[in-house]
Structure 1
Amino acid sequence: MATPFGVLLRDARRRVGLTQDELAERSGVGVRTIRRLETGSGNDPRIGTVTLLADALDVTPDERRDLLSAADGRHQPPAQRTAEPPAPAPQVSLPAVPPEVAESADHLARVIATQLRREEELRRVHDPFPLPVRWRQAPEHLADHWDNICRVPAGVAATPLDLAGEVGDVADAYRRVPSRRLVVLGRAGSGKTVLTLRFVLDMLAARAPGDPVPVIFNIGSWDPTATPLRTWLADMLQRDQPGLAAAAPGGATLAAVLVDTGRVLPVLDGFDEIAEGLHRPALETLNSLSLPLLLTSRFAEYERAVTAVDVLTSAAVVELTDLTPDDLAAYLPRTARRGTDWGPVMAALRDGDANLAEVLSTPLMVGLARTVYSDSRDRDPADLLDTTRFPTPRAIEEHLLDTFLPTVYGGHGERRGRDVARVRQWLGFLADDLDRRGTGDLEWWRIGGSLRASSRVLLVTLAASVATALVDWLVFIPLFTLKSGTAPHWRSTLADGLLIGPVVGVPFGLLYLLMVVRRGRITEPTRFRVRLFDRSGRQPGFRRKLTTRFVAGALCGAAAGIAYAPAAVLVKAVSPHITLPADTGLLVRATLIDAGLCAVIFGLACGAVFALAALLEAPANLTTATSPADLLAANRTTTLRLTGVLAVVLTLAIGLGGYLIVTGWRAVAGDFGGVIWGLPNGLLIGLIGGLSAGAGYIVAFTAWGHWLLFTRIRLPLTGRLPWAVTALLDDAYRRGVLRQSGAVYQFRHARLQEHLAKAYRATR
């Protein structure tokens, strides 16, 4: 993926009309070096190399300054350096971008602001007022030198900044940091996530057109050893905003250009959630980049990473502090229903109750206590003072976590209790599934439990086979009866469905094994719409994509065609109304010829139609829905539209193409062979092939098909989830059990996910 320097270099080269070879000859820089710099696959360029390239391109002074700044994020022209740390820090000059990119950035800002305001409402952050989340300067050994943070020149000492504040000041505190790199530390439940919400909303409120857009990324799912950070950021943007997968001028996606040109300000939430053993390479990668960012982490995990590697370069570090008894006395009584008395709890806190003071020192536990007691009519906060039931702070925390679900789901009475128990079991399964996969992102296209690769292939094969058999029995047989005026014998009908099913299902299963399972791929939601021959979204590699799809479709179709011929012979063999030739040799030769003809017919038709799918894929709109439920609905619509069109085209391709091929064969070789391919019969065969191939394509190669097969059917059948899975997730989101992060759900907090997963495993 191109870096900001690569984008600037490529644009400057194209403006003067030079090829990479011509620029290499004029500058004396190797063409391979230029190619690596433009694609971002090499190391950061040396200043001498940048100077040679700038001279060869005859750029303006401003363009030269932009190239130097992009080549080294810490480099500033001498005229911009000051002896004192600026306050506030000057805005970083971003490279110019095409209007489409600027428009996408502005749209992204509006979408994120709308989503996060909704999140604050559901979390009742302002009801009745925000908890006073405060922070102080972190220990010095966790932060870089103030000279580096303030970006002062050599020989000038920077004055340390006073960054202490509370939740409403976070954006201002960030702007006072000249390096635009800030780390927020805190223990579990201390308010880091809520702080990032407020930071993004405040930054967006003050954002001017062209400024970077702050975006929250759950960095826990990033593998720094496998994916460069900028590539991962662009992938996450496209996941949450499918419209950003469209191509920008120059060929890269809008998401990639936004990241590469600094139009995105990464808010990296959950450094501590990165998989064990990856904190060191993650910190090393962050130190190799100079992009502005805000990073959150638990204190202990960040301290261990810093001790093993080094501090985050040029980053200031602050630490969230605990809530005080005065904070609680001002907050909890105002959240209570009439008749709920927090007085005894407040008195115990003032008298120094160590257990309560430790538990109610974080916004997470205060929020749970509010839900369990202030929102309930039949629970008394004074129960928390029972040292027999709750002898330790951990016991109080487990009580609050355990009582949270019955409270938000209204668990009163025997029936309601059974309902809550089922919901707890379902959510526990989801939490356990996330724990096993080491993530907090509840992506609907990955829900499926721990299923072996062989089981997935078997299910896809079985689903495609069953769908084909149903098409044969419910569509093909009635139409054949209507056409011929005679219904086939029941044995023929049964055998036809049972044999034709695997003819289509097995090739799709094999193709799924080779193209998805063996390559370790996860089929993700589509990022396109169905449009007729829309060229706007075609990116580099489109021809290769077209060729790959044609070959895959042709192989799948040819395999089905080869299997179809002997299957048709077997169906005839069990039919009491059809007599096969007595000459076995003649029958075998006829079957082989039929298999060859069917392989050609089905192979060419399927290859052409699968390639046609690429021509029908146009980029998603910027306005494409980005919530989990809306993204699922959009993918269902796109999948059904695409497969509907392809099924019709495949029906005609098999019917008409087969008629022409068989007619040509008979004109050359005579009537030898058993294929009956008159135009009506060919269209009927094409219809079953088109509908069956469409069903196979859905279950094997689309995220919605996997959701339908592995989640909506398999998990309810095994009792792990309800039949209305989407309703369960949406309801949990509205009740505050889940939260939304872009196009995925997450549990309200990692502690809640951990608690539910542990309880689920205990019941198995």
Structure 2
Amino acid sequence: MADTVGGLLRRLRKQAGLTQEELEARAKVSVSTIRRIENDKPFDHRLGTVASLADVLGASPEDRRRLAAALGGATDAPGADRQPSDGTLPDMPAAQVPAARSSGPAAPPDTARGPLAEAADELAREIRRRWQHEEAQRRVHHPFPLPVRWRQMPAGLADHPENSRSHTPAEAVPEADMSGALHEVAEVYGKVGSGRLVILGRAGSGKSVLAIRFVLDLLDERARGQGSRRVPVIFGVGSWDPTAVGMRDWLVDGLLRDHPHLARRVPSGKTLAADLIDAGFILPVLDGFDEIAEGLRRDALDALNRVSTPLVLTSRHGEFAQAVGAAHAPLASAVGIELGDLTLDDLREYLPLTAPVLPDEAGQADSGGSKTTWDAVLDEARDAGGAHFAAALSTPLMVALARTMYSDSPDRTPDELLDTALFPDAHAIEEHLLAGFLPAVYRRRAPERLDDSPRGVPQDPGQAQKWLSHLAHHLVRFDHERQDLAWWQLGDSLPWPTRVLAVALASALCVAVSTWCAGLAAVPFLGSSPAVLTPAQVLVEGVLVGLAGGLAFGVTYAVVAARSGSQSFEPTTVRLRLPGASGGMGRRSLRETSAYLGAVLAGGVVMGVGMALVTTLQYHLFFHAPLATSPMLHVTLTNMLVYALIFGPAACLVFGLVVALEAPLDVTTSATPQGLLSSNRATAGRRALVLAPMLTLTVALGGYVVVFLLHGALGPLAWSLSDALPIAAAGGLGGTAAYMLAFTAWGQWILLARIWLPLTGRLPRDTLAFLDDAYRRGVLRRRGAVHQFRHLRLQHHLARSYREEHGEYRSANLTPPPMTSPDRRAP
């Protein structure tokens, strides 16, 4: 029986006399990962991790060969040509980093191996798996890929051909032929010496599909040991603001969002994502240059021209031409190609294969001619010169919409598209296809007994369109239009005052409930002391403390959001680990930590001041103490100082300890929307389990310390158990719950996207299940950890429908802007 990876590593670990926990500390690999490997459970990133474990365990060359065979017949044993690893990721030597102009996209891979190269291999495998799934989801190969063809970009939009070749001016190198088809994109890219390629096309012409095929072809070459060592990564460049963040930093942020495990730090202090980019292991594929805000495209082109790294850029023709004209320069050292239109011949070969065969007059399938509903329409369009029909279906986007409406819907026939009275031009046909897409994919069906679809997933086309139109409006209503539909940003669709109100109300409820529970639970244990409140007084106290907590958290939330300039909190890419387990690789920088703890300290002080005011009101309500007196003013000011010194340092100490326990997420963390939400939910839960008891005890015990230090200096002070319980509960339990809801991405998701927006009817109860269902139906697509609408034109169509339905044009005495027609360029 052949050895397994798990059996071999288990034997090596026992020979070394190490427990799984000791191996975790030495190899910097989580104990859960070690258990999965030793139990031979599915594990994605095996090569680099197993190599690190083999180094720590001192595996012999024979054991390494057995590991390689167990891993699937790899030609090189893991780590056979490396020095034993110390668990760190050293910087790539300068000699291994090729110059952008001389390396070329098809340079042979480096033979030297190391942890950084293995991290790039792991990233390549993950990206290949994701985009293969995405390509299958879009039905690109069913029944076969549409013939996406291109020609060389016109002069004036591309750089001089000599600047894109890897040679000196004295060399005579003929200009490369840049024409080709979908399956040849990687081959064409191999002819570009500079590694910089621009792909132009009109809306819906297949630029994104071409980018996906390009990435998969390059990764296939890389897996075979051919081509470049660079890993092609698709970035939605529409979210980039080049005036606010540099290209390199923006690329790093994109990698960290979609691949959280790259947040772990290397000895230089950089993240692994930054190290991969700096060492030349990443080939950026910048998809959607035209989606950058109009006033920023020239700045973006200037920023791209300041670097010479290989990259691929996709854009619509008009927007790119405007940016080139404004910058007075094309993309430096780049070669450009422009996608052509589909023809009636292309449609004749493709569309009939997407529809069922029609029966003949005898009720049998016509096996001779294999006629479908599309055959007669395409024949008539050819004979009658259906120019509008051919022009409308000249892009893969419109062909896909037509296929969904007619081939996948048995109750509709495409012959209506030839009605010139109903559709006087190509634009009318396109609008008809956009409007009919959602009803087609959400058409009614009979419920099934075993249907396990979540309750938040609708079957009613009208309800689905209502929610999707709200989401589209949420993306396009800002000055800087967005395309990424991120779950942690859905609350941004609410006005800023509404979000502050939601945070204040939720925080007030959390603090009030914790105060009620602590106060009522303490009544039986504290006896009948005059200082003990009655149940009725406890309820009143909870309301007052809740109002103070809601005000404190509401004000802090508003200030933090205003200072950061961000309307949402980013998902965390860390988890909590015991001291020494993570090696400090995932901790924040000193600047980030200082700003974070400063905000926590300020919030604690505000909470303390609010508690002092609550105490004053309690004196007045419960003991009839007059407010407008000098003694009461003295007591209030004293309490403000005491409570501020209790809450501020306590919060700073506890949250500082939490920061010290942070470590990066596992490399197995999935950066799908659901995976990122699940990891953030788990991280928030663990953080709450740490924060709540620690903050409660710190407030309670800190009160005794502060009162002891200030006793006498501020007059007689007292801190009894009856004082400590409600205050510590409000600050510990209630404060933790309010913090989770107000200042974490998962909490904002729960508060706004799962409670507030569904209650107002703007989103379903289970929003993420609805988004996943829309993705499976082909309405949305995934790009890493975010969803996007299938195409920008569909997003604009739904957003315009939302504004028309809600009367935003009528209320402003405006008329709806016409849907921009794509460029009509002859092939």
- TM-score, normalised by the number of residues in structure 1: 0.83
Give the 3 Å change call, closer, same or farther, for CA 733–541 of structure 1 in structure 2.
Answer: closer
- Separation in structure 2 between the aligned mates of residue 716 and residue 401 of structure 1, nearest angstrom: 26
The one of 459, 477, 489 equivalent to 1:436 is 477
- Separation in structure 2 between the aligned mates of residue 734 and residue 66 of structure 1, nearest angstrom: 43
Alpha-carbon displacement from aligned partner over 1:450-492 (angstroms, at most 9, x marks no partner)? 544444334323321222112223x223312332367954642
Contact 1:453-1:517 at 8 Å conserved across structures = no
Residue correspondence of structure 1 range 735-750 to structure 2 within 5 A: 735-750=777-792
- Separation in structure 2 between the aligned mates of residue 515 and residue 616 of structure 1, nearest angstrom: 23
The one of 352, 357, 374 equivalent to 2:390 is 357
Residue correspondence of structure 1 range 687-698 to structure 2 within 5 A: 687-698=729-740
Counterpart of 1:658? 703
Q: Match for 2:163: what amino acid?
A: N
Q: CA deviation at 1:542?
A: 3.4
- Separation in structure 2 between the aligned mates of residue 399 and residue 253 of structure 1, nearest angstrom: 48
Counterpart of 1:91? 107
Counterpart of 1:761? 803
Q: CA deviation at 1:598?
A: 2.3
Give the 3 Å change call, closer, same or farther, for CA 450–408 of structure 1 in structure 2.
Answer: closer
Q: Match for 2:509: what amino acid?
A: V
SS at match of 2:746: helix
Counterpart of 2:307? 289
The one of 171, 176, 179 equivalent to 2:186 is 171
Contact 1:590-1:672 at 8 Å conserved across structures = no
Alpha-carbon displacement from aligned partner over 1:22-76 (angstroms, at most 9, x marks no partner)? xxxxxxxxxxxxxxxxxxxxxxxxxxxxxxxxxxxxxxxx988778x65xx44x5
Counterpart of 2:618? 571
Q: CA deviation at 1:435?
A: 1.0
Q: Match for 2:386: what amino acid?
A: D
- Separation in structure 2 between the aligned mates of residue 200 and residue 582 of structure 1, nearest angstrom: 72
Alignment RMSD? 2.9
Contact 2:510-2:735 at 8 Å conserved across structures = no
Q: CA deviation at 1:703?
A: 1.2
Q: CA deviation at 1:174?
A: 0.6
Matched, 1:472 2:515: yes
Alpha-carbon displacement from aligned partner over 1:254-276 (angstroms, at most 9, x marks no partner)? 11111111111011111111111
Matched, 1:393 2:412: no
Contact 1:185-1:299 at 8 Å conserved across structures = yes
- Separation in structure 2 between the aligned mates of residue 327 and residue 130 of structure 1, nearest angstrom: 11
Q: CA deviation at 1:330?
A: 1.4
Q: CA deviation at 1:510?
A: 2.8
The one of 190, 194, 198 equivalent to 1:183 is 198
The one of 644, 647, 652 equivalent to 1:607 is 652
Q: CA deviation at 1:604?
A: 2.0
- Separation in structure 2 between the aligned mates of residue 747 and residue 406 of structure 1, nearest angstrom: 16
Q: Match for 1:504: what amino acid?
A: G
Q: CA deviation at 1:560?
A: 2.0
Q: Match for 1:343: what amino acid?
A: D
SS at match of 2:337: strand
Give the 3 Å change call, closer, same or farther, for CA 547–299 of structure 1 in structure 2.
Answer: closer
Alpha-carbon displacement from aligned partner over 1:70-105 (angstroms, at most 9, x marks no partner)? 5xx44x5xxx9xxxxxxx9751788988x4432321
Alpha-carbon displacement from aligned partner over 1:554-579 (angstroms, at most 9, x marks no partner)? 3322332233234134235434xx57
Counterpart of 1:53? none
The one of 363, 370, 377 equivalent to 1:345 is 377
- Separation in structure 1 between the aligned mates of residue 679 and residue 287 of structure 2, nearest angstrom: 28
Residue correspondence of structure 1 range 26-425 to structure 2 within 5 A: 70=99, 73-74=100-101, 91=107, 99-208=114-223, 211-308=229-326, 309-339=328-358, 340-351=372-383, 352-411=385-444, 419-425=460-466
Counterpart of 2:572? 526
Alpha-carbon displacement from aligned partner over 1:412-468 (angstroms, at most 9, x marks no partner)? 79xx99921111011001111111230111111111355444443343233212221
Matched, 1:727 2:727: no
Q: Match for 1:350: what amino acid?
A: R
Identity over aligned pairs, percent:
47
- Separation in structure 2 between the aligned mates of residue 543 and residue 281 of structure 1, nearest angstrom: 31
Give the 3 Å change call, closer, same or farther, for CA 541–476 of structure 1 in structure 2.
Answer: closer
Give the 3 Å change call, closer, same or farther, for CA 120–540 of structure 1 in structure 2.
Answer: closer
Contact 1:662-1:677 at 8 Å conserved across structures = no
Q: Match for 2:768: what amino acid?
A: T
- Separation in structure 1 between the aligned mates of residue 340 and residue 432 of structure 2, nearest angstrom: 24
- Separation in structure 2 between the aligned mates of residue 105 and residue 90 of structure 1, nearest angstrom: 17
Q: CA deviation at 1:134?
A: 1.0
SS at match of 2:487: coil
Contact 2:587-2:660 at 8 Å conserved across structures = no
- Separation in structure 2 between the aligned mates of residue 498 and residue 743 of structure 1, nearest angstrom: 40
Give the 3 Å change call, closer, same or farther, for CA 113–566 of structure 1 in structure 2.
Answer: same
Matched, 1:685 2:732: no
- Separation in structure 2 between the aligned mates of residue 751 and residue 463 of structure 1, nearest angstrom: 38
Contact 1:184-1:295 at 8 Å conserved across structures = yes
Q: Match for 1:192: what amino acid?
A: K
- Separation in structure 1 between the aligned mates of residue 627 and residue 554 of structure 2, nearest angstrom: 36
SS at match of 1:751: helix
Matched, 1:495 2:537: no
Alpha-carbon displacement from aligned partner over 1:594-614 (angstroms, at most 9, x marks no partner)? 443222222221111121221
Q: CA deviation at 1:641?
A: 1.3
Give the 3 Å change call, closer, same or farther, for CA 471–132 of structure 1 in structure 2.
Answer: same
Alpha-carbon displacement from aligned partner over 1:300-337 (angstroms, at most 9, x marks no partner)? 22222223321211211111111122221111111113
- Separation in structure 2 between the aligned mates of residue 574 and residue 706 of structure 1, nearest angstrom: 35
Q: CA deviation at 1:538?
A: 4.8
SS at match of 1:156: coil
Contact 1:251-1:540 at 8 Å conserved across structures = no
- TM-score, normalised by the number of residues in structure 2: 0.77
- Separation in structure 2 between the aligned mates of residue 434 and residue 452 of structure 1, nearest angstrom: 14
Q: Give the gaps of 5 or more residues in structure 2.
A: 1-91, 359-371, 447-456, 807-827
Q: CA deviation at 1:506?
A: 2.3
SS at match of 2:178: coil
SS at match of 1:141: coil
Give the 3 Å change call, closer, same or farther, for CA 582–301 of structure 1 in structure 2.
Answer: closer
Q: CA deviation at 1:628?
A: 0.9
- Separation in structure 1 between the aligned mates of residue 617 and residue 262 of structure 2, nearest angstrom: 52
The one of 703, 716, 734 equivalent to 1:672 is 716
Residue correspondence of structure 1 range 577-596 to structure 2 within 5 A: 585-596=630-641
Q: Match for 2:575: what amino acid?
A: R
Contact 1:359-1:396 at 8 Å conserved across structures = yes
Q: CA deviation at 1:591?
A: 4.3
Contact 2:381-2:418 at 8 Å conserved across structures = no
Contact 1:95-1:261 at 8 Å conserved across structures = no
Contact 1:652-1:683 at 8 Å conserved across structures = no
The one of 607, 621, 625 equivalent to 1:560 is 607
SS at match of 2:739: helix
SS at match of 1:277: helix
Alpha-carbon displacement from aligned partner over 1:486-513 (angstroms, at most 9, x marks no partner)? 7954642332122101322222233223
Counterpart of 1:714? 756
SS at match of 2:490: coil
- Separation in structure 2 between the aligned mates of residue 277 and residue 366 of structure 1, nearest angstrom: 32
Contact 1:644-1:694 at 8 Å conserved across structures = no
Give the 3 Å change call, closer, same or farther, for CA 173–657 of structure 1 in structure 2.
Answer: same
Give the 3 Å change call, closer, same or farther, for CA 508–250 of structure 1 in structure 2.
Answer: same
- Paired residues in the alignment total 681
Alpha-carbon displacement from aligned partner over 1:530-551 (angstroms, at most 9, x marks no partner)? 1123553457973444444443
Q: CA deviation at 1:344?
A: 1.7
